[in-house]
Amino acid sequence: MTAGLVRTTVDGAVAELRLNRPEALNALDLPTARAFGAAVAEVTARPDVRAILITAEGKGFVAGGDVSAMAADPDRGHEVIDALLEALNPAILALRENDAPVIAAVRGVAAGAGLSLMAGADLVVLDEAAKLLLAYDQVAGVPDCGGSWFLTHRLGRGRMMEMMLLGRPLTPEEALSAGLVTELCPADEVDDRARRLAARVAAGPTRSFGRFRRLVDAAPGASLAEQLDAERAGFVAAARTDDFKEGVAAFAARRKPEFRGQ
């Protein structure tokens, strides 16, 4: 368990990472980015963690990068951004490459890097009154934390360019319809519902879940022949796991499987 700018707790097989800078709507300054990177490294290194929940303290999820830190010395703003992404990019990759599904519990505003973090999650529980926007057009920046990859893959080029060029926000209902969000609910229910989802997927076949994600990520850029080969390799590898053997045995016995993530 860690405390500070990112509070990390592990309950059973679920790790919860709670950003804790509510006075700034959890905007990512360098200390917060480094704390988040350390927290991600900690939980992704644990084989007992089979689901990762990302949430935040206060009324907002993440209001992007901390622009005030950049405005303090505009001539060195590029250095601030470079340092932020040096800390954040390995965390984004670690979450994506780990087998444990990632669940985001999002209340209030998710802007810029906050929207990227949300889009990178496998399941999202969203405040029905949330504000989702990129806002890079207002600061002459470009998407970061994987936003250009996650959002283009999930929303399509047209919607992404509309959000970038016109600063158009994405409504919660549009996010749900587009498949970017799993469910909408009142703000005060977001964390509890997300924890229930996290507990459910933490009881699943974790290594197969990681293979699911890698197949889905690769599909848009793969030919059918390439995807068939990847599916074959993935399924053969999955069939060697203890969880596959348990799943087959449970199916044959007409009982619920008890997966261990192995």
Three-state secondary structure readout of the chain: CECCCEEEEEECCEEEEEECCHHHCCCECHHHHHHHHHHHHHHHCCCCCCEEEEEECCCCCEECECHHHHHCCHHHHHHHHHHHHHHHHHHHHHHHHCCCCEEEEECCEEECHHHHHHHCCCEEEEECCCEEECCHHHCCCCCCCCHHHHHHHHHCHHHHHHHHHHCCCECHHHHHHCCCCCEEECHHHHHHHHHHHHHHHHCCCHHHHHHHHHHHHHHHHCCHHHHHHHHHHHHHHHCCCHHHHHHHHHHHHCCCCCCCCC
Name which of 24, 97, 87 is nearest 57 in CA terms.
24
Domain that includes residue 212, residue range: 206-253
Mean pLDDT of 154-161: 93
Distance CA 2, CA 16 (A): 11
Q: What is the mean pLDDT of the chain?
A: 94
- Render pLDDT for 171-203 as a digit per residue (tens, 0 to 9): 999 999 999 999 999 999 999 999 999 999 999
Whose tokens are 């030919």? That residue is 223
pLDDT at 1 over 50: no
Residue 135 in any domain: the answer is yes
Distance CA 197, CA 24 (A): 28
Are 124 and 142 contained in the same domain? yes
pLDDT at position 78 is 87
Whose tokens are 């990068």? That residue is 65
Name which of 26, 100, 16, 12 is nearest 59 in CA terms.
26
Are 55 and 126 contained in the same domain? yes
- Render pLDDT for 53-102 as a digit per residue (tens, 0 to 9): 999 999 999 999 888 877 787 788 789 889 999 999 999 999 999 999 99
Q: What are phi and psi of 252, to 5 degrees?
A: -65, -35
Are 193 and 219 contained in the same domain? no
Are 111 and 49 contained in the same domain? yes
Are 210 and 196 contained in the same domain? no
Are 117 and 193 contained in the same domain? yes
Residue 1 in any domain: the answer is no
Are 185 and 233 contained in the same domain? no
Are 179 and 239 contained in the same domain? no
Distance CA 39, CA 3 (A): 10
Residue 149's alpha-carbon distances to 10, 95, 156, in angstroms, are: 29, 15, 10
Mean pLDDT of 116-144: 94
Instruction: Mark which of 180, 202, 224 sits at the end of a domain.
Output: 202
pLDDT at 3 over 70: no
- Render pLDDT for 196-246 as a digit per residue (tens, 0 to 9): 999 999 999 999 999 999 999 999 999 999 999 999 999 999 999 999 999
Instruction: Mark which of 202, 218, 235 sits at the end of a domain.
Output: 202
Instruction: Mark which of 174, 202, 230 sits at the end of a domain.
Output: 202
Q: What is the CATH number of the domain that holds 238?
A: 1.10.12
Total of domains in the chain: 2
pLDDT at 250 over 60: yes
Residue 240 in any domain: the answer is yes
Q: What is the CATH number of the domain that holds 20?
A: 3.90.226.10
Are 52 and 171 contained in the same domain? yes
Are 196 and 212 contained in the same domain? no
Residue 262 in any domain: the answer is no
pLDDT at position 257 is 95
Mean pLDDT of 16-35: 96
Give the number of other Cβ atoms within 10 Å of residue 31's Cβ: 15
